[in-house]
Amino acid sequence: MVKLKPDNLRPMAPDFNSLGRVILAAIDDHVVPGVVMGVGQAGRASLLAAYGQRQVEPEPLPATVETVYDLASLTKAVVTSLLVMRGVEEGCLHLDRPLGDHLSMLADRPEVTLRRVLAHAGGFPAHRKFYERLLAQGGPQPSFRAAIVVEAGREPLVYEPGGQSLYSDLGFILLGALVEQAMSARLDILAERLLFRPLGLSRLGFVDLLAGPGWMRSAGLDIAPTERCPVRGRMVEGEVHDLNAYAMGGIAGHAGLFGSIGDLLQLAFALCAAYHGRGMAGSAPLVNPEVLRQFWQPAGIPGSTWRLGWDGPAAQGSLAGSLLSRRAVGHLSFTGCSLWIDPEPEACVIVLTNRIHPEVRDDPRFRALRPRVNDEALRAIGYQAR
């Protein structure tokens, strides 16, 4: 037997065949139309791959690694939370100050602090159909955006702030308005200027429904549709699925972001680098490392896995899977997408899919698919939680 010398040794390439079999079986069983995966570690992509279709109606069209998906609630983590980090870094936002310092409709609620709202512990209900009254007047209008923010801020609280966590779109609608007030620009403009452009990302962004066809259509990009929406009376493609965000013109703190796998993975790599005090390609860190680490620590709400704007894996039965460190961070979306990051080894797993196409279904098979996909991806790169 020939003994290899150390300089002859080469790391084995990750084997993603098992992951592919899991995904293709789910596609064959009509759990999802298709899946686009991004897996990487230490700033290098191990996998960028597309499986199945980006749409099945009105005609089948393939998913590709260039396909742009509605990222839905990933907006909360990768836009709103990151912009709040920048505001904290710049000193125009303070975690333990009331939102009412900036938003007048909350002036009489000093217990509703920025820290608590980021941790989904601000006392707000999970969801309200603000869009129903407004969309009865027609499609999105400029005045609807401010109207929904006011309604969200005036909504009666359903529990004592800080006492528990209840995942809430209302809190992040208000956080989006808070960022705009404190940083003197609209959310999409801030995200482009402070987050996406410095990293050279051109396939992450909001679609302003009041300003024409949008950047995705203008660039001729492949877009994954969501559902055949009963409220809009059509298949939704290239406009935000969430109806409150739709009424707000497509730009909101809780939903509205679209993106492709490559750009989202690059953003995740930039956050990992920032966590370790580094920038990308010699630039400054995307966000201040001390602020980022503070936001990615458990928020300390009883019985909650929430950080500040980001979630963490549950101790048991997590949708992030069984392998990922419980110190990792991530977020899920209603459309089916997910993003998980373990910042210590800089491991990232991103899933893009439109599980609500062509219609919304409560399918327990998709809930079972999420942890399997994450586990298979991590296993393939030899990941071990530290």
State the chain's mean pLDDT as an integer: 95
Mean pLDDT of 319-341: 98
- Enclosing H/E stretch for 182: helix 169-183
Question: Going along the chain, which residue ranges are E strands?
Answer: 34-41, 44-55, 61-62, 69-72, 204-206, 228-229, 234-235, 257-259, 329-332, 338-342, 347-352
Q: How confident is the model at residue 218, as a pLDDT?
A: 86
Percent of the chain with pLDDT over 70: 97
What would the pLDDT profile of 345-369 be if each residue is shown by its tens digit?
999 999 999 999 999 999 999 999 9
Q: How confident is the model at residue 358, as a pLDDT?
A: 98
What single DSSP character describes residue 199?
A: G
Q: How confident is the model at residue 46, as a pLDDT?
A: 97
What would the pLDDT profile of 179-229 be if each residue is shown by its tens digit?
999 999 999 999 999 999 999 999 999 999 999 888 899 889 999 999 999
Structural contact between residues 264 and 350, judged by C-beta atoms closer than 8 angstroms: yes
Distance, in Å, from the CA atom of 333 to the CA atom of 190, rounded to the nearest integer, reads 22
* Position 11 confidence tier, pLDDT thresholds 50, 70, 90: low
Q: Give bridge partners of residue 311 from the DSSP assignment.
A: 330
Q: Is the pLDDT of residue 125 over 80?
A: yes
Sign of CA dihedral 351, 357, 360, 361: negative
61-62/69-72 β-pairing: unpaired
Q: In 3D, which of 23, 25, 66, 36 has the Cα closest to residue 216?
A: 66
Tokens representing 226 are 């969501």
What would the pLDDT profile of 74-121 be if each residue is shown by its tens digit?
999 999 999 999 999 999 999 999 999 999 999 999 999 999 999 999
Percent of the chain with pLDDT over 90: 93
Q: In 3D, which of 20, 13, 61, 34 has the Cα closest to residue 261?
A: 34
Distance, in Å, from the CA atom of 94 to the CA atom of 321, rounded to the nearest integer, reads 34
Using H for helix, E for strand and C for coil, what is the string for 222-233?
CECCCCEECCCC
Q: How confident is the model at residue 228, as a pLDDT?
A: 97
Contacts of 58 (CB under 8 A, 6+ apart): 235
Q: How confident is the model at residue 7, as a pLDDT?
A: 40
Mean pLDDT of 313-321: 97
Helix or strand or coil: residue 266?
Answer: helix
* Position 6 confidence tier, pLDDT thresholds 50, 70, 90: very low
Domains of the chain with CATH codes: 15-380 (3.40.710.10)
Q: How confident is the model at residue 12, as a pLDDT?
A: 60
Mean pLDDT of 116-129: 98
Q: In 3D, which of 72, 182, 173 has the Cα closest to residue 125?
A: 173
Contacts of 273 (CB under 8 A, 6+ apart): 43, 279, 280, 285, 286, 346
Q: How confident is the model at residue 212, as a pLDDT?
A: 82
pTM confidence score: 0.95
Degrees, nearest 5: CA angle 330-365-59: 95
Contacts of 261 (CB under 8 A, 6+ apart): 36, 37, 38, 48, 65, 67, 350, 352
329-332/234-235 β-pairing: unpaired
Alpha carbon dihedral 359, 361, 367, 369, in 10-degree steps, equals -50
Distance, in Å, from the CA atom of 348 to the CA atom of 341, rounded to the nearest integer, reads 5
Helix or strand or coil: residue 335?
Answer: coil
Mean pLDDT of 166-183: 98
Q: How confident is the model at residue 3, as a pLDDT?
A: 36
Q: Is the pLDDT of residue 2 over 80?
A: no
